[in-house]
Homo-oligomer: A and B are copies of this chain.
Amino acid sequence: MTLMRTIRDLAGETGDGVPAEVQAVAEAEHVPVAAVVDGLRRGTIVIPRNSASAGVKPTGIGAGLRTKVNANLGTSADFDSTEEELTKLRAALDARADTVMDLSTGADIDGTRRAIREACDVPLGTVPIYEAGIEAMRAHGSVDDMSEESMFEVLERHAADGVDFVTLHCGVTRESVERLRRQGRICDIVSRGGAFHARWSVVHGRENPFYEHFDRVLDIAGRYDVTLSLGDGLRPGAGADATDRAQVQETIILGELVDAARAAGVQVMIEGPGHMPMDQIAANVTLQKRLCGDAPFYVLGPLVTDVAPGYDHIVGAIGGAICAAAGADFLCYVTPTEHIGLPTPKDVAEGVIASRIAAHAADIAKGVPGALEWDNEMSRARRALDWERQTELCIDPARFADLRQARASASPDTCSMCGDYCPMRDEWLAPAHEAASTSTESGR
């Protein structure tokens, strides 16, 4: 029985029948259990959790909840070490990523995924089509040689391994690829999974099996209670391509599949761009929410300029903050090496922190419970020149402590920027408060 069906069968909105993970999410988010139950019922909230995996931290994604951050991991042909990916996993978890995805394309995709699953106590996502395509290339020489069966077989393999959510590019259909061709773009397709599907469909003159046989997808997802993350295989890969007809066509198709997934009791979220100028972000959120029945919106970036590879974690933080404030629920991090190479563990940590900053800034703006309170505690510690408390409270205590030591002041109550001229010292405004109380006392 999937979580969604369990929730629907509940008589009320609270009480003994509410699964433990739902109660845990409500508690972690400082919201009523009834709000989470309602969100799950309506599909505006998902809690990705494979029924075959245990010990995964219950994590809610969706409306009214804290904006979550995903870190992508995974081997590639050039950096093909499971051990290194486990190091990145630890870096991501230490930096407090809410979920991770294993996007491995190295030699032992199954082995890496299982090792990551074993070591990972947050929801884990994958993109099964990578493995299906790469297995076909290795066995037969081309992605064209994928069989329909192989696609479903790999999907089920991932589900059986305890993967909590899967990206499926179900919206890369003959219709949307044709619209892409008519549209014309600077960057065509920039999604690997989207490229695999598009080529396969065109070469064979056949429909995307994950679309045509979406009932089989739902059957597998339902048996393992895997959450579907309907991927944006036609997402724009350049600001100039954003919000074009191909992208919107795909979103329309995904929206129809959301209805089907919900009818089957399968949790579903929608992936979004990508590259997008700042002034188009709010419209994209509105569009996704409207077309896809308010399903949780999971965005990659978005990247608000194309010119800053080496700093795309910053570019993505700008876009992610704006997007999350406008209603996106889940940010996929971007690392400094995006567009240049596979990230290192340090890049992973940088990427997670940048996305967490974006998510938190947005949570303040959209009034997520507890967000502003964290800032206020930090500001009070800052005002009190309580450096220990600032260290505890800040988003990366180790970095804070390192920088403070490296740039220490001879006036230890302040910092080396202002030293004795620190405006936080009481001496500056105190006379005003004293003058005010004197003035009141003397009746002047």
Q: Measuring CB to CB, which residues of chain A are less than 8 angstroms from any residue of chain B?
A: 76-79, 105, 130, 133-134, 177-178, 180-181, 186-192, 194-196, 198-199, 202-203, 205, 237-241, 275, 277-279, 304-311, 313-315, 317-319, 321-322, 325, 336-344, 353-354, 357-358, 360-362, 364-366, 372, 374-376, 378-380, 382-383, 390, 393-396, 399-400, 403-404, 406-411, 415-421, 423-424, 427-429, 431-433, 435-436
A423-B189 contact, Cβ under 8 Å, with A78-B409, A181-B436: yes
**Do A395 and B308 touch across chains, with their CB atoms under 8 A apart?**
yes
Q: How far is the CB of A305 from chain B (nearest CB, A)?
A: 5
- Looking at A342, A344, A380, A417, which has the most chain B CB atoms within 10 Å of its CB? A417
Q: Which residues of chain B are within 8 angstroms of A383 by Cβ–Cβ distance?
A: 186-188, 237-238
From residue A318, how far is it (CB to closest CB) to chain B in Å?
5
23 sample A-B contacts, Cβ–Cβ < 8 Å, listed by A number: A76-B418, A78-B419, A79-B407, A105-B421, A188-B383, A199-B431, A237-B383, A240-B376, A278-B322, A305-B361, A308-B360, A310-B395, A311-B353, A314-B317, A318-B318, A318-B322, A319-B361, A340-B403, A340-B407, A340-B415, A341-B407, A341-B415, A342-B416
Task: Pick the residue among B187, B309, B396 that contacts A400 (CB under 8 A).
Answer: B309
Query: Are B278 and A375 in contact (CB-based, < 8 A)?
Result: no
Known: A76-B419, A181-B433, A199-B427. 20 other contacts (CB 8 A): A76-B416, A77-B419, A188-B428, A188-B429, A192-B421, A195-B421, A198-B428, A202-B435, A241-B379, A277-B364, A277-B372, A278-B364, A305-B360, A306-B382, A309-B394, A310-B396, A315-B357, A318-B357, A340-B404, A341-B403
**Contact between A177 and B432, CB atoms less than 8 A apart:** yes
Q: Are B308 and A429 in contact (CB under 8 A)?
A: no
Contact B198 A432 (CB under 8 A): yes
Q: A302 to nearest B CB, angstroms?
A: 11
A158 to chain B, nearest CB (A): 18
Q: Once the chains are docked, how many angstroms separate the CA of A400 from the CA of B309? A: 7
User: Are A311 and B354 closer than 8 Å at their CB atoms?
Assistant: yes
- The CA of A429 and the CA of B237, in the complex, are separated in Å by 14
Question: Are B309 and A380 in contact, with the CB atoms below 8 A?
Answer: no
The A interface, classified by DSSP as helix, strand, loop or mixed, is: helix
Chain B residues closer than 8 Å to A415, beta-carbon distance? 339-342
A432-B202 contact, Cβ under 8 Å, with A341-B409, A400-B340: yes
* Selected contact of A420 from candidates B77, B189, B241, CB within 8 Å: B77
A196 CB contacts on chain B under 8 angstroms: 428
Residues of B within 8 A of A304 (CB): 321, 361, 364-365
Q: CA–CA, A343 to B378, complex, Å? A: 21
Q: Is the CB of A307 within 8 A of B393?
A: yes
Complexed CA–CA distance, A177 and B431 (Å): 11
Is the beta-carbon distance between A379 and B239 smaller than 8 angstroms?
Answer: yes
A330 to B187, CA, bound (A): 32
A216 to B418, CA, bound (A): 29
Q: Which chain B residues lie closer than 8 Å to A319 at the CB level?
A: 361
B195 touches A372 (CB 8 A): no
CA distance A343 to B379 in the complex (A): 21
Task: Let me know if A361 and B318 touch, CB within 8 A.
Answer: yes
Say whether A278 contacts B362, CB under 8 Å.
Answer: yes
* A308, A342, A407: residue with the most chain B Cβ atoms closer than 10 Å: A308
When distances are taken between beta carbons in the complex, the residues of chain B under 8 Å from A431 are: 199, 202-203
Q: Which one, B133, B178, B403, contacts A310 given CB within 8 A?
A: B403
A403 — which chain B residues lie within 8 A by C-beta? 309-310, 336-337, 340-341
Are A305 and B192 in contact, with the CB atoms below 8 A?
no
